[in-house]
Amino acid sequence: MAGDDFERTTFAELISEGSLEIGDGYRAKNEELGGDGPIFLRAGHVTDTHIDFSGVERFHSELESCVRSKLAKPGDAVVTTKGNSTGRTTFVTDAMPPFVYSPHLSYWRSKDITRIEGGFLRYWSKGAEFVEQLAGMKASTDMAPYLSLIDQKRLCISLPPISQQRAIAHILGTLDDKIELNRRMNETLEAMARALFKSWFVDFLPVRANMEARNRKALTQTGDPVRAKAEGQDPLPAPQSDAARQAGGLPKHLADLFPDFFEDSELGEIPKGWQVKSVGDLADVVGGTTPNTKEPAYWDGGTHAWATPKDLSRLSVPVLLDTERRITDAGLSQIGSGLLPKGIVLLSSRAPIGYLAVAEIPVAINQGFIAMMPKAGTSNIFLLLWASIAHEEIVSRANGSTFLEISKANFRPIPVVTPSVDAMRVFEALARPLYERIVESAYESLTLAALRDTLLPKLISGELRVKAAESIIGNIM
């Protein structure tokens, strides 16, 4: 039930009075893409939490005037309109690069800021009033879900006074801004750990003894400590920076971890004294199963986390803090691998292969995983980053007629260049603080998202007033 001071109206009425604009995207032709102009944003880049600009296509710059009418503007609420993702919503901020909407996206744009607050539309699109109407529109056709502009004009909306709209947008936006800040910070921390791993354990692999000197020097500049020492240079820290160059490279106690020459192996040249081992030598590799889903005793009131690849598909960082489903003790007894310990590395083994996470909770798993339990002397962060970088090698060993799957038998023999005990130990010491900061901010974001999801329906409906919500936010922010 909307608040007493809420106005009940429709999108069509708001459009008619000039307060609201809605529209869809540009139908790009293949030959129009592949340039360095505006981004062409497809619906697949709209996630449940943010817009993912990785891998986007761009128009040729000379077409900018042709697509300008479909350019996003800060303050737009965005909704996906076709397929299984129909109804997924996001928001355009002024921190985003310019982009053009695709036909499977619609935007809702305030044309009168004294009447409609764009940020309120952002959260109204996640509330019950929109969700219930969307469900009815989806059910009205046997075709794939589709939310047309005509359907959007039929939407009914309960609008609070503009001051309340702005306050609601500010309260919920403050939570989302902090979640987004954490996400970006975690991306940076993850990139730092990956750069460290790549510099120490990967960059030397493509190098061969007959490589020209100038190419060896170019590779040295990526930060490979062994190659640098073999070339008589100071190893650079990773990730590399101008300050690091000026500082003269790695501290001596770190540089001393790396040999200054190579020896042959089945994978080519590797640092002297290091070994090529199988992943099965570094970790115990196990799988899982799904207890009978029709047996209530396995599921009802379950207290044990039970993961499927779907749980990993929604992660913005490779850290598993919770699962969608839980199982009982009876359900757990049906899984041969049992409850796996905190710190285990999970890799989805089919449909698709490659979702990765470290479980920060004890967890049982279904049959869509390979789980790696690190053996003594092996860092789980090392395994996580190795599996990410070795993705193509892992997929190459998969098989299957319906979908590719990597079996445990095919996974265990995959060779891994394994550093010395001291190098592994120091890598763990350097990477662990980065990982722990990722976990800490992931937990914070989980808490903030839960609070947002609690406040949102109550604010949008008028059940909770702004002052009460501001008090709640003030106590935790």
Confirm whether 206 is domain-assigned: yes
Residues 154 and 171 in one domain: no
Q: Is the pLDDT of residue 53 over 50?
A: yes
Residues 57 and 172 in one domain: no
Residues 35 and 82 in one domain: yes
Confirm whether 314 is domain-assigned: yes
Confirm whether 375 is domain-assigned: yes
Who wins on pLDDT, 397 or 224? 397
Q: Is the pTM of this model over 0.75?
A: yes
Pairing label, strands 415-418, 275-278:
antiparallel
Domain boundary among 136, 159, 182: 159
Residues 129 and 225 in one domain: no
pLDDT interval class at 123 (50, 70, 90): very high
Q: So what's the pLDDT on residue 141?
A: 61
Q: Environment class of residue 321 by beta-carbon count within 10 Å: exposed (0-12), middle (13-18) or buried (19+)?
A: middle
Q: Percent of the chain scored above 90 by pLDDT?
A: 73
Nearest to 178 by CA among 440, 435, 468, 449: 449
Tell me the residue range of the domain where 209 lies: 163-274+419-477
Residues 189 and 316 in one domain: no
- Preceding omega of 352 cis (within 30 degrees of 0): yes
Residues 201 and 333 in one domain: no
Q: So what's the pLDDT on residue 3?
A: 63
Q: What is the C-alpha to C-alpha distance for residues 419 and 200, in angstroms, rounded to an integer?
A: 9
CATH value at residue 57: 3.90.220.20
Q: So what's the pLDDT on residue 242?
A: 41
Residues 285 and 366 in one domain: yes
C-beta neighbour count of 414 within 10 angstroms: 18
Among 92-106, 126-140, 435-449, which is the least confidently predicted range? 126-140
Confirm whether 335 is domain-assigned: yes
Around 79, how many Cα atoms within 13 Å sit in the side-chain half-sphere?
A: 24
Tens-place pLDDT, residues 359-408: 999 999 999 999 999 999 999 999 999 999 999 999 999 998 788 999 99
Reduce the DSSP state of residue 231 to 3 states and report it: coil
Residues 74 and 212 in one domain: no
Tens-place pLDDT, residues 142-176: 667 889 999 999 999 999 999 999 999 999 999 99
Mean pLDDT estimate for the chain: 88
Q: Is the pLDDT of residue 217 over 50?
A: no
310 touches 325 (CB < 8 A): no
Confirm whether 2 is domain-assigned: no
Tens-place pLDDT, residues 198-208: 888 887 765 43
In the chain, how many domains are there? 3
Q: Is the pLDDT of residue 247 over 60?
A: no
Nearest to 117 by CA among 176, 159, 72: 159
As a whole number, mean pLDDT of residues 340-365 equals: 96
CA angle (241, 392, 272) in 5-degree steps: 60
Residues 17 and 148 in one domain: yes
Confirm whether 1 is domain-assigned: no
Q: So what's the pLDDT on residue 261?
A: 78
Q: So what's the pLDDT on residue 145?
A: 81
Residues 338 and 406 in one domain: yes
Residues 77 and 39 in one domain: yes
Q: Is the pLDDT of residue 1 over 70?
A: no
Confirm whether 45 is domain-assigned: yes
Domain boundary among 159, 177, 204: 159
Q: Is the pLDDT of residue 216 over 60?
A: no
If residue 278 lies in a helix (H) or strand (E), which one and from where to where?
strand 275-278
Residues 168 and 137 in one domain: no
Q: So what's the pLDDT on residue 34?
A: 95
Q: Which two tokens stand for residue 78?
A: 């965005």
Reduce the DSSP state of residue 182 to 3 states and report it: helix
Confirm whether 411 is domain-assigned: yes
